Amino acid sequence: MQLLFIADPLEVFQTYKDTTFAMMREAARRGHTLAACQPQDVMWERGRPVTAQVRDIVLTGNPEDWFNVRTERKAALADFDAVLMRKDPPFDSEYFYATHLLEQAERDGARVFNKPRALRDHPEKLAIMEFPQLIGPTLVTRDARDIQRFHAEHQDIILKPLDGMGGMGIFRVGPDGLNLGSITETLNRGGAQSVMVQKFLPEIVEGDKRVLIIGGQPVPFCLARIPQGSEVRGNLAAGGKGVARPLSERDVEIARALGPILQERGLLLAGVDVIGDYVTEINVTSPTCFQEIQQQTGCDVASLFIDALETAMSNE
């Protein structure tokens, strides 16, 4: 297969932990050819298919200089066997526009994973609203009074922006309510932006678990991202320690409840964040943790993903 990866610049990849690199490496091992571009390289003009300025690459096996560019060319997205959208968050206006361009490419005949409409319909913080039976007490609002009421009810809460990633902008406010007003003003920008507020889950000390669902099926191991020191955030980008673990019975229950639904909607890969018994986020833009799980358990997550991709292609 000819695969096109739409991603961040290849030059900034940290290959020892990058999930997109792991996907590329496994695809190349199986003989698939690789091309890459960034979202800003994708364009559409009336009367023509969606195209991109792409780089055909080969992997070198050298961690320091890990790819060579064979050619640079303009190509229609529909000419590739599969297009993998792997641009990291944030899900901003440009990401939103990119999903529309990719959906137009689908009309041209391109096969895009994850499906552009599904990416657009599942913003990572808000996608959990559809599954109230799987989540803890949660509020989404712009109104400071709603947040005050929620805090009065639950006492210990987490506040976070809807467009954050890697733990950015996450605050905890305890029973004393210290700085709740100031934090609210910072996050909701005087009522201009919506905020997610969730009851603090003390099970975070055991880790914020990333449960991967590939082709509707759970990967048998999760990565528990454990906060360090006085930090409340388990995100690896915020200094959390990643520890791979077998899925618990509750993790499997959650994954089996969500997996078929997400797969049916065109989400080949999703990363479900679980604290204790509750889902806190459903990540679909660029889920990670493949390499950390493989390095600690031997479970080849990239191989599971390429298996699912090949199966999806053979079924189309």
Confidence of residue 229 (pLDDT cuts 50, 70, 90): confident
What pLDDT, on the 0 to 100 scale, is given for residue 240? 83
Query: In this predicted structure, what is the pLDDT of residue 171?
Result: 94
Q: Which of 236, 228, 219 is nearest to 272 (CA)?
A: 219
* pLDDT, position 235: 74
236 vs 219 pLDDT, higher one: 219
Distance CA 162, CA 174 (A): 21
For residue 234, what pLDDT is reported? 67
Instruction: Return the pLDDT at 238.
Output: 66
Q: Is 87 a catalytic residue?
A: no
The domain spans of the chain are 2-114, 137-200, 203-314
Cα 154–Cα 160–Cα 165 angle in degrees, nearest 5: 145
Pick the catalytic residue: 26, 251, 281, 292? 281
CATH architecture for segment(s) 203-314: 2-Layer Sandwich (3.30)
Task: Please say if 283 is a catalytic residue.
Answer: yes
**Bridge partners, 213 (sequence order):** 218, 270
Check 25, 209, 225, 292 and give the catalytic one: 225
- pLDDT over 90 at 207, yes or no: yes
- Give the pLDDT mean for 153-173: 90
- List, in order, residues 6 or more apart from 126 with CB less than 8 Å away: 140, 162, 196
Architecture of domain 2-114: 3-Layer(aba) Sandwich (3.40)
- DSSP class of residue 240 equals P
The whole-number average pLDDT for the span 100-106 is 98
> Mean pLDDT for the chain?
95
Q: Please give the Cα distance from 309 to 92 (Å, whole number).
A: 27
Q: Do residues 120 and 160 touch, judged by C-beta distance below 8 A?
A: no
Q: What is the phi/psi pair of residue 96, to 5°?
A: -60, -45
Paired tokens of 176 = 């004393």
How far apart CA 262 and CA 177 sit, in angstroms, is: 38
For the question of residue 160 being annotated catalytic, the response is yes
Dist CA 285 CA 310 (whole Å):
20
The length of the chain, given as a count of residues: 316
DSSP code at position 219 = -
Whether the pLDDT of residue 282 is over 90: the answer is yes
How much is the average pLDDT of 78-90? 95
The pLDDT value given to residue 90: 81
Confidence of residue 167 (pLDDT cuts 50, 70, 90): confident
203-314 shares the fold of 2-114: no
> Can you tell me the mean pLDDT for 63-77?
96
The answer to whether residue 209 is catalytic is no
Structure tokens at 21: 């690199």
Residue type, 118: A
Distance between start and end Cα atoms, the chain: 14
Residue 228 is predicted with a pLDDT of: 87
What values do phi and psi take at 75, rounded to 5?
Answer: -145, 150
CB atoms within 10 A of CB 109: 11
Q: Which two tokens stand for residue 116?
A: 């552009």
Q: Which positions ≥6 away from 230 have C-beta within 8 Å?
A: none
Annotated active-site residue 125? The verdict is: yes
Cβ atoms of 271 and 287 closer than 8 Å: yes
Does the annotation count 233 as an active-site position? yes
- Secondary structure string (H, E, C) spanning 2-45: EEEEECCCHHHCCCCCCHHHHHHHHHHHCCCEEEEECHHHEECC
Give Cβ neighbours of residue 248 (< 8 Å, ≥ 6 apart). Answer: none
Greater confidence (167 vs 48) lies with 48
Exactly one of 87, 160, 199, 209 is catalytic; name it: 160
Distances (CA, A) of 10 to 36, 74, 244, 288: 8, 18, 27, 16
0.85 exceeded by pTM: yes
Catalytic residue among 18, 124, 251, 273: 273
Question: The domain 137-200: what is its CATH number?
Answer: 3.30.1490.20
Question: Does residue 316 sit in helix, strand or coil?
Answer: coil
Please count the other Cβ atoms lying within 10 Å of the Cβ belonging to residue 212. Answer: 28
Catalytic-residue membership of 273: yes
Burial of 296 from C-beta contacts in 10 A (0-12 / 13-18 / 19+): middle
